[in-house]
Structure 1
Amino acid sequence: MTSTLQVAIAPATVAETEVLTTMVRTSGAYTGDYRVMVANQTIDAAYIARHVTRVAHGPDGELLGFATLQVPGRGGPGEGEVDFMFVADDAQGRGIGRLLMDDLRAEAAKRGLHRLHVVSHPPSAGFYRSCGFRDVGVIEPYGRIGWSRPHLVLSLG
């Protein structure tokens, strides 16, 4: 899928996993206390083999962002979960997140899903709401995550 922003979205490749991991671990959205949530995250070949992983490339081939879909994820049959949604810090504000979300919706529809879930990083919840997700609950703190996170859903179709 290509947009007027000259962004191409395609399946992730194993060759891109190191860049994806770096994007997650160094994201400016996860500073301070939030850093613990992403410090040890790894996107590797096994991950992209198990989950729909879509990447956004700019006109020069640079990796601008990525999104992943877990099936199954939260919910029941016919439901999936947005696991990762990251846009490179220097590429934010250009509509790339919205393009990735539209692409992920299309991928979910191809798989016959009727609903998507996301447990959002609190500062990112507004983005998901702007994409049509609605709040359905809160995931309470557990493990190394010491803060509550919004649980949102999006009905497809």
Structure 2
Amino acid sequence: MAAYTPRMHQATIKRATARDAAALTGLVRESGAYRGPYSSIISGYRVTADYIARHRVFTAVDATDRLLGFYALVLDPPELDLAFVSDDAQGAGVGRLLIGHMLAQAAEAGLSTVRVVSHPPAEAFYRRLGARRTGTVPPRPPQVTWARPELHFAVG
């Protein structure tokens, strides 16, 4: 697959629907960031239509409606539960666009902070966007065998 090169302003954010569940699941399972030692956390993982209906799930798509990434914001308790950008769209500003949108959704919902339990390699990305590290979440074997950084975004 060719690398995604258009600038981020060419991506559009849309509310996910039940019809997006399979594509979102595919994006999670194909993520290069979760190969090797991190693969256990997404093994068998599914984004379901029910999950999409219960949470604020938004996608980033290009002009041809190709999925570039998505996030899921859980309101209670406030947490960025999922955030994925397709491997070929990374570095094009899609993740920054999604996080900015997520923070706007959090503000609209009246939240003051949003927790992120980060994939360890993604911590620097979240910190560049303003998240503050607040702790470490211990491993939860058998699926998660490593500690994960806990961060918080201030909203507003």
Q: Which residue of 1 aligns with 2:58?
A: 54
Residue 47 of structure 2 aligns with which residue?
43
Secondary structure at the aligned position of 2:10 is classed as: coil
Structure 1 match to 2:15? 11
State how far apart, in whole Å, the 2-side matches of 1:5 and 1:69 are.
22
1:5 partner SS: helix
* CA distance in structure 2 between the partners assigned to 1:25 and 1:4 by the alignment: 23
Aligned pairs, number: 149
Alpha-carbon distance between aligned partners in 2 of 1:156 and 1:142, rounded to the nearest angstrom: 29
Q: Distance in 2 between matches of 1:4 and 1:146?
A: 34
RCO comparison, higher one (Cα < 8 Å, 6+): 2
How far is 1:4 from its partner?
5.6
Paired position in structure 1 for 2:4: none
**Is the 2:120–2:149 contact (alpha carbons within 8 Å) kept by the matching residues of 1?**
yes
The one-letter amino acid of 2:90's match is: Q
Matched, 1:25 2:29: yes
Give identity over the alignment, percent: 42
Could you tell me which residue of structure 1 aligns to residue 74 of structure 2?
70
Q: Deviations over 1:67-88 (max 9, x none)?
A: 0101113xxxxxx100100001
**Separation in 2 of the partners of 1:41 and 1:71?**
21
Q: Distance in 2 between matches of 1:17 and 1:96?
A: 19
Q: Deviations over 1:35-84 (max 9, x none)?
A: 000112111110001110000010111010000101113xxxxxx10010
SS of aligned partner of 2:20: helix
Alignment-mate amino acid for residue 35 of structure 1 = S
Offset of residue 135 of structure 1: 0.6
Aligned residues of 2:117 and 2:149 also touching (Cα < 8 A): yes
Q: Which residue of 1 aligns with 2:130?
A: 132
Q: SS of the residue aligned with 1:48?
A: helix
Alignment counterpart, residue 91 of structure 2, candidates 90, 93, 99: 93
- TM-score, normalised by the number of residues in structure 2: 0.92
After superposition, the CA RMSD in angstroms is 1.1
